[in-house]
């Protein structure tokens, strides 16, 4: 009976710790443009996270993944400036040039204050 209680206590502690670690990772809670949106030429992309981000470890890259009329166009990195919002929970991605018609992907990496990283992407199109 004693071994059973110890095993149960250990299992409970492991599950509690695993839940705490999962919640320690910042999650993307929204973006503008939203994933798979069609948008007018945009002057900035906003990535909103569930918690304050650690900088400069958190970052984003923008790629043009296709261009109308050029079916074999290779993906192309776009020059951007990435800055945090005032509350530290968002990344603002500002292209240096207006985005031409095409499809785009934002690859992001977010690191929380306790250094737990997560990453993802947002795809959108300028028709």
pLDDT tens-digit profile, the chain (127 residues): 565 555 444 444 443 444 444 457 899 999 999 999 999 988 899 999 999 999 899 999 999 999 988 877 789 999 999 999 999 999 999 999 999 999 999 999 999 988 889 999 999 999 9
CATH label of the domain that carries residue 118: 2.60.40.1220
Cα-Cα-Cα-Cα torsion 82, 88, 89, 95, nearest 10 degrees, comes to: -10
Residue 18: domain span:
2-126
Contact 49, 99 (CB under 8 A): no
Q: How many domains does the chain have?
A: 1
């Amino acid at each position: 009976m004693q071994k059973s209680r110890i095993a149960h206590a250990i299992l409970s502690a492991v599950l509690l710790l695993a839940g705490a670690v999962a919640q320690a990772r910042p999650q993307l809670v929204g973006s503008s443009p939203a994933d798979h949106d069609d948008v007018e030429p945009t002057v900035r992309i906003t990535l909103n996270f569930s918690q304050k981000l650690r900088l400069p470890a958190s970052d984003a890259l923008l790629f043009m993944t296709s261009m109308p009329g050029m079916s074999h166009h290779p993906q192309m990195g776009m020059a951007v400036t990435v800055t945090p919002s005032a509350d530290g929970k968002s990344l603002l991605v500002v292209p240096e040039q207006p985005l031409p018609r095409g499809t785009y992907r934002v690859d992001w990496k977010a690191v929380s204050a306790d250094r737990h990283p997560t990453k993802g992407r947002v795809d959108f199109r300028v028709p």
